[in-house]
A and B are shown apart, each in its own frame.
Chain A
Amino acid sequence: MRGTLRRRAGAGRHRRSGVRAGQDVGRSCILVSIAGKNVMLDCGMHMGYNDDRRFPDFSYITQNGRLTDFLDCVIISHFHLDHCGALPYFSEMVGYDGPIYMTHPTKAICPILLEDYRKITVDKKGETNFFTSQMIKDCMKKVVAVHLHQTVQVDEELEIKAYYAGHVLGAAMFQIKVGCESVVYTGDYNMTPDRHLGAAWIDKCRPDLLITESTYATTIRDSKRCRERDFLKKVHETVERGGKVLIPVFALGRAQELCILLETFWERMNLKAPIYFSTGLTEKANHYYKLFITWTNQKIRKTFVQRNMFEFKHIKAFDRAFADNPGPMVVFATPGMLHAGQSLQIFRKWAGNEKNMVIMPGYCVQGTVGHKILSGQRKLEMEGRQIVSLSQFAHGIQGKVAPDSQHLCSPPLLLQLEVKMQVEYMSFSAHADAKGIMQLIRQAEPRNVLLVHGEAKKMEFLKQKIEQEFHVNCYMPANGETTTIFTNPSIPVDISLGLLKRETAIGLLPDAKKPKLMHGTLIMKDNSFRLVSPEQALKELGLAEHQLRFTCRVHIQDPRKEHETVLRVYNHLKGVLKDYSVQHLPDGSITVESILIQATAHSEDQGTKVLLVSWTYQDEELGSYLTSLLKKGLPQSSS
Chain B
Amino acid sequence: EDRELLERQQHEDLSTKKLRLTKPSKSAALHVDLCKATSPADALQYLLQFARKPVEVESVEGVVRILLEHYYKENDASVRLKIASLLGLLSKTAGFSPDCIMDDAINTLQNEKSHQVLAQLLDTLLVIGTKLTENPSVRMRLVEVACKHLTDSSHGVRNKCLQLIGCLGPVEKGVAKEAESQAAKDVQKIIGDHFNDQDPRVRTAAIKAMLQLHERGLKLQQAIYGQACKLLADDYEQVRSAAVQLIWVLSQLYPESIVPIPSSNEEIRLVDDAFGKICHMVSDGSWVVRVQAAKLLGSMQQVSSHFLEQTLDKKLMSDLRRKRTAHERAKELYSSGEFSSGRKWGDDAPKEEIDTGAVNLIESGACGAFVHGLEDEMYEVRIAAVEALCMLAQSSPSFAEKCLDFLVDMFNDEIEEVRLQSIHTMRKISNNITLREDQLDTVLAVLEDSSRDIREALHELLCCTNVSTKEGIHLALVELLKNLTKYPTDRESIWKCLKFLGSRHPTLVLPLVPELLSTHPFFDTPEPDMDDPAYIAVLVLIFNAAKSCPTMPALFSDHTFRHYAYLRDSLSHLVPPLRLPGRKLVSSPVSPSITPHEDPSQQFLHQSLERVYNLQHLDPQGIQELLEFTIRDLQRLGELQSELAGMADFTATYLQCQLLLIKALQEKLWNVAAPLYLKQNALASAAAKQILEETYKMEFMYSGVESRQVVIIHHMRLQAKALQLIVTARTTRGVEPLFGMCEKFLQEVDSFQRCFISELPQMQGSFVDKLLDLMPRLVTSKPSEVVKILQTTLRQSTFLHLPLPEQLHRASANIIEPTGESDNPLRFTSGLVVALDVDATLEHVQDPQGTVKVQVLYPDGQAQLIHPKPADFRNPGPGRHRLITQVYLSHTAWTEPCQIEVRLLLAYNSNRSKAAAKIAKSTWNESPEALPQPENGIEGTIPFSKPVKVYIMPKPARR
Binding site for B on A (CB under 8 A): 192-193, 195, 198-199, 201-204, 218-230, 232-234, 236, 264, 267-270, 297-299, 360, 374-376, 422-426, 434-435, 438-439, 442-443, 458, 461, 464-465, 469, 504, 508-513
Contacts and interface: CB of A to CB of B under 8 A. Distances in A.
Contact of B342 (A268, A297, A422, A458): A422
Contacts of B316: 220-222
Given A225-B409, A269-B450, A264 B414 contact: yes
B319 A226 contact: no
A500 B416 CA distance: 57
B309 interface: no
A201 B290 CA distance: 14
B377 A360 contact: no
Nearest to A424: B343
A299 B418 CA distance: 12
Nearest to B152: A509
Given A201-B285, A268-B449, A424-B343, A511 B410 contact: no
Contact of B319 (A218, A228, A510): A218
A428 to B, nearest CB: 13
A94 B699 CA distance: 92
A227 B343 CA distance: 10
B366 to A, nearest CB: 15
A297 B377 contact: yes
Given A422-B342, A504-B153, A299 B379 contact: yes
Interface stretch (B84-92, B320-328, B706-714): B320-328
Given A225-B375, A270-B450, A469 B361 contact: yes
B412 A229 contact: yes
B106 to A, nearest CB: 23
A264 B413 CA distance: 11
B448 A269 contact: yes
Contact of B323 (A222, A270, A513): A222
Nearest to A221: B316
Nearest to B409: A225
Interface in B179-198: 196, 198
A465 B361 CA distance: 8
Contact of B377 (A198, A225, A230, A435): A198
Query: 6 tightest A-B contacts by CB?
Result: A226-B326, A425-B345, A193-B377, A225-B409, A374-B345, A269-B448
A198 B377 CA distance: 6
Contacts of A232: 412
Interface in B894-940: none
A349 B236 CA distance: 59
B356 interface: yes
Given A458-B319, A510-B198, A438 B326 contact: no
Interface in B386-420: 406, 409-410, 412-415
Given A439-B283, A504-B153, A195 B414 contact: yes
Interface in B301-352: 314-320, 323, 325-327, 342-346, 348
Contacts of B342: 234, 422, 424
Contact of A512 (B198, B325, B344): B198
Given A220-B361, A222-B348, 17 more contacts: A192-B375, A195-B414, A220-B318, A220-B323, A223-B326, A223-B406, A223-B409, A225-B374, A225-B409, A226-B326, A236-B445, A269-B449, A269-B450, A298-B378, A299-B415, A374-B345, A461-B356
Interface in B444-475: 445, 448-451
Contacts of B283: 439
B320 A223 contact: no
Contacts of A435: 361-362
29 contacts: A192-B375, A193-B375, A219-B319, A220-B317, A220-B323, A222-B314, A222-B325, A222-B348, A223-B325, A225-B409, A225-B410, A225-B412, A225-B413, A226-B326, A234-B343, A268-B448, A268-B451, A269-B450, A270-B448, A298-B379, A375-B345, A376-B344, A425-B346, A438-B361, A458-B320, A508-B151, A509-B151, A511-B196, A512-B198
A344 to B, nearest CB: 18
Contacts of A204: 235, 285
Nearest to B344: A425
Contacts of B626: none
Contacts of A223: 314, 325-326, 371, 374-375, 406, 409
Choose among B285, B325, B449, B486 the residue with the greatest number of A CB atoms under 10 Å from its CB: B285
Contacts of B361: 220, 434-435, 438, 465, 469
A506 to B, nearest CB: 13
Given A219-B317, A264-B414, A268-B450, A511 B198 contact: yes
A208 to B, nearest CB: 17
Chain B contact-residue range equals: 35 or more
Contacts of B314: 220, 222-223
Nearest to B236: A204
A443 B451 CA distance: 39
Interface string B282-294: 0101000000000
B409 A298 contact: no
Contact of B450 (A224, A267, A423, A465): A267
A199 B356 contact: no
B359 interface: yes
B497 to A, nearest CB: 19
Nearest to B324: A222
Contacts of B317: 218-220, 434
Contacts of B323: 220, 222
A23 to B, nearest CB: 16
B241 to A, nearest CB: 15
A172 B542 CA distance: 60
A464 B741 CA distance: 98
A508 B196 CA distance: 14
Contacts of A434: 317, 361
Contacts of A270: 448, 450, 486
B235 to A, nearest CB: 5
B785 to A, nearest CB: 72
A299 B417 CA distance: 12
B114 interface: no
A479 B283 CA distance: 34
A260 to B, nearest CB: 9
B572 interface: no
Contact of A298 (B153, B327, B343, B377): B377
Contacts of A202: 285
A306 to B, nearest CB: 13
B442 interface: yes
A269 B411 CA distance: 13
A220 B450 contact: no
A204 B285 CA distance: 9
Nearest to A440: B285
Contact of A425 (B326, B343, B412): B343
Contacts of B445: 233, 236
Interface string B74-116: 0000000000000000000000000000000000000000000
B409 A226 contact: yes
Contacts of A298: 377-379
Contacts of B486: 270
Nearest to A426: B343
A374 B346 CA distance: 9
Nearest to A359: B343
Contacts of A229: 409, 412, 442
Contacts of B376: 193
Contacts of B412: 225, 228-229, 232
B883 to A, nearest CB: 23
B799 to A, nearest CB: 60
Contact of B326 (A193, A199, A227, A297): A227
Nearest to A504: B153
A461 B320 contact: yes
Interface in B716-763: none
A465 B359 contact: yes
A224 B406 CA distance: 11
A617 B726 CA distance: 118
